[in-house]
Amino acid sequence: MADAFVLDYVRTPRGKGSSRGSLAGVRPLDLVVRLQRALVERTGLDPERVEDVIIGSASQVDDQGGNLARTATLLAGWGDHVPGGAVNRFCASGIDAVAQVSARIRAGELQLAVAGGVESVSRVPMFADRAPLWTDAEVIRQVGSVHMGIAADLNATLEGYTREQLDAYGVETQRKAAEAWERGAYAGSVVPVELPDGTLFDRDELVRPDTTAEGLAALPPAFAELGAQGQDAIALAAHPEAGRIEHLHTVGTSPSLADGAALLLLGDAAAAEAAGLRPRARVVACATAAVDPVLMLTAGQAAVERAIARAGLTPADIDVFEFAEAFAALCLTFRRDLDAGPDRLNPNGGTIAMGHAFGATGAIMVGGCVDELERREGRYGVAAVSGAAGLGVAVVLERVSEKGAA
| pTM check: above 0.95 | yes
The pLDDT tens digits for 60-70 are: 999 999 999 99
For the chain, how many residues are written?
406
Percent of the chain whose pLDDT exceeds 90 = 95
The pLDDT tens digits for 207-244 are: 999 999 999 999 999 999 999 999 999 999 999 999 99
Round the CA-based radius of gyration of the chain to a whole number and report it.
20
Measured over the CA atoms of residue 379, residue 405, residue 102 and residue 120, the dihedral's sign is positive
pLDDT at residue 402 above 80? Answer: no
The pLDDT tens digits for 344-359 are: 999 999 999 999 999 9
Burial of 267 (0-12, 13-18, 19+ CB in 10 A): buried
pLDDT band of residue 405 (cuts 50, 70, 90) is low
* Cβ atoms of residues 98 and 53 within 8 Å: no
Q: Which residue has the higher pLDDT, 403 or 335?
A: 335
C-alpha–C-alpha distance, residues 5 and 106, integer Å: 9
C-alpha–C-alpha distance, residues 81 and 227, integer Å: 50
Q: What is the pLDDT of residue 1?
A: 84
